[in-house]
């Protein structure tokens, strides 16, 4: 059984032209690292928050979200509390927004242990020191008495990771955990997360817009666009042969993490702008930005997520992205000619 499972989950907000999430299905198993990749506004953070039962106020919800067998859609307060305190934890994007600036780090880390589990102050402080040591802070006892403004962004993100581990979760949700950090600190944070995930056998869902970062850290990748999953495969398969034009576009517009042996190819941005919640399309949501789109077909019916070789792809013309890396690069650069039937 999957540790985290979304089953055809849709979330719609009043007054919006399209759902925030539109029938997504996704799974994370224990001991597995999975990435959810897409541009800003694609619905990634809403997806992550749904795994804690944090649904937008006034939203219409359809489908299922299960964490370790507990269905969070319509769950009562006791069930949600049990999931949030013993099964799943989240690391948010901006650590300074997640820590009360007028309280000491030690108070932040020990509150749930003292109030939720009834631990004594000394026992909770000892556990906080253990956790800060585990995430690589050099003088954890001193940091307990400091305020957030006395720590750097990288140090605060380590504190947030320690706080997430106080619940001893089986599932760790990481919502852009390195976005506000410099490159060196990003690498350190990802190394810490990887080490903790392996040591504790956690299931980990990484939310990121950086497909190269996802490739370095994850076993499988889901690609999301405008609230829909458009492609999913193992990391190796996705990079060897992306089958959705959006995935190819992300790869073509992302600099590699490591320097290639030969000359660096020119990055090519995806044309147009992402679809907002006030925009809607009767067909494929990526059709207006896709050079493979066939008028009268791609813009008329939404493509289902179907098996294409080792991947699942939601594209009417997925077969036209070949399995060779060279062809993928050409497709991402936009230099393939449309087929005669498109003209």
pLDDT tens-digit map of 204-260: 999 999 898 899 899 999 999 999 999 999 999 999 889 999 999 998 888 776 656
Q: Is position 66 within any domain?
A: no
Tell me which DSSP letter residue 233 carries.
E
pLDDT in tens, 43-95: 999 999 999 999 999 999 999 999 999 999 999 999 999 999 899 999 988 88
Give pLDDT, residue 333: 45
The separation between CA 189 and the C-alpha centre of its own chain, rounded to angstroms, equals 16
Q: How far apart are CA 137 and CA 152, in angstroms?
A: 11
Q: Which of the listed residues 166, 193, 211 is the one where a domain comes to its end?
A: 166
Give pLDDT, residue 12: 97
Extract the tokens encoding 303.
């493509």
Q: Which of the listed residues 146, 166, 186 is the one where a domain comes to its end?
A: 166
Number of domains, the chain: 2
pLDDT in tens, 24-51: 999 999 999 999 999 999 999 999 999 9
Kindly provide the b/e burial profile for residues 69-100, where b requires at least 16 CB atoms within 10 angstroms of the residue's own CB: eeebbebeeeebeebbbebbbbbbbbbeebbe
Strands 60-67, 70-71: pairing kind: antiparallel
User: Which helix (H) or strand (E) element contains residue 106?
Assistant: helix 105-116
pTM of the model: 0.90
The domain in which residue 107 lies consists of: 102-166
Q: Is position 37 within any domain?
A: no
Q: Is position 238 within any domain?
A: no
Give pLDDT, residue 268: 85
Give pLDDT, residue 337: 36
- Classify residue 183 by burial, with Cβ atoms within 10 Å: 0-12, 13-18, 19+: exposed
Q: Which of 244, 250, 249, 242 is nearest to 334 (CA)?
A: 249
Q: Is position 110 within any domain?
A: yes
Q: How far is CA 340 from CA 110, 210, 319, in A?
A: 66, 35, 16
Q: Is position 70 within any domain?
A: no
Q: Which of the listed residues 166, 189, 207 is the one where a domain comes to its end?
A: 166
User: Is a pLDDT exceeding 80 seen at residue 321?
Assistant: no
Q: How far apart are CA 44 and CA 188, in angstroms?
A: 23
Give pLDDT, residue 329: 42
Beta carbons within 8 Å of 229's beta carbon, 6+ residues apart: 24, 25, 26, 222, 223, 305, 312, 314
Mean of the per-residue pLDDT values for the chain?
A: 88
Q: How far apart are CA 58 and CA 14, in angstroms?
A: 7
Q: Is position 138 within any domain?
A: yes
Strands 88-91, 306-308: pairing kind: unpaired
Strands 171-175, 33-37: pairing kind: unpaired
Q: Is position 313 within any domain?
A: yes
Q: Is position 212 within any domain?
A: no
């Amino acid at each position: 059984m999957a540790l985290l499972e979304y089953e055809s989950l849709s979330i719609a907000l009043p007054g919006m032209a399209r759902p925030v999430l539109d029938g997504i299905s996704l799974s994370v198993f224990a001991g597995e690292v999975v990435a959810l990749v897409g541009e800003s506004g694609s619905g990634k953070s809403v997806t992550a928050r749904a795994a804690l039962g944090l649904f937008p106020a006034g939203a219409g919800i359809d489908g299922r979200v299960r964490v370790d067998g507990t269905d969070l859609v319509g769950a009562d307060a006791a069930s949600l509390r049990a999931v949030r305190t013993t099964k799943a934890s989240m690391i948010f994007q901006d650590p300074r927004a997640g820590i009360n600036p007028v309280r000491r780090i030690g108070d932040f880390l020990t509150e749930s242990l003292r109030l939720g589990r009834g631990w004594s102050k000394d026992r909770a402080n000892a556990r906080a020191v253990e956790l800060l040591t585990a995430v690589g802070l050099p003088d954890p006892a001193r940091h307990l008495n400091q305020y957030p403004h006395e720590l750097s962004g990288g140090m605060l993100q380590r504190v947030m990771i320690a706080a997430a581990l106080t619940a001893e979760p089986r599932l760790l949700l990481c919502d852009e955990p390195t976005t506000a950090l410099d490159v060196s600190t990003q690498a350190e944070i990802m190394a810490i997360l990887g080490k903790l995930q392996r040591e504790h056998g956690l299931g980990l869902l990484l939310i990121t817009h950086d497909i190269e970062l996802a490739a370095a850290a994850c076993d499988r990748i889901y690609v999301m666009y405008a609230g829909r999953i458009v492609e999913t495969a193992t990391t190796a398969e996705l990079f060897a042969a992306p089958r959705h034009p959006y995935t190819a576009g992300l790869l073509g517009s992302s600099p590699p993490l490591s320097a290639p042996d030969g000359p660096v190819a020119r990055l090519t941005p995806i044309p147009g702008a992402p679809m907002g919640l006030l925009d809607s399309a009767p067909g494929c949501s990526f059709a207006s930005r896709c050079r493979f789109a066939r008028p009268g077909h791609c813009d008329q019916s939404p493509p289902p997520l179907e098996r294409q070789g080792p991947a699942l792809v939601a594209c009417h013309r997925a077969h036209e992205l070949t399995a060779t890396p060279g062809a993928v690069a050409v497709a991402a650069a936009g230099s393939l000619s449309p087929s005669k039937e498109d003209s």
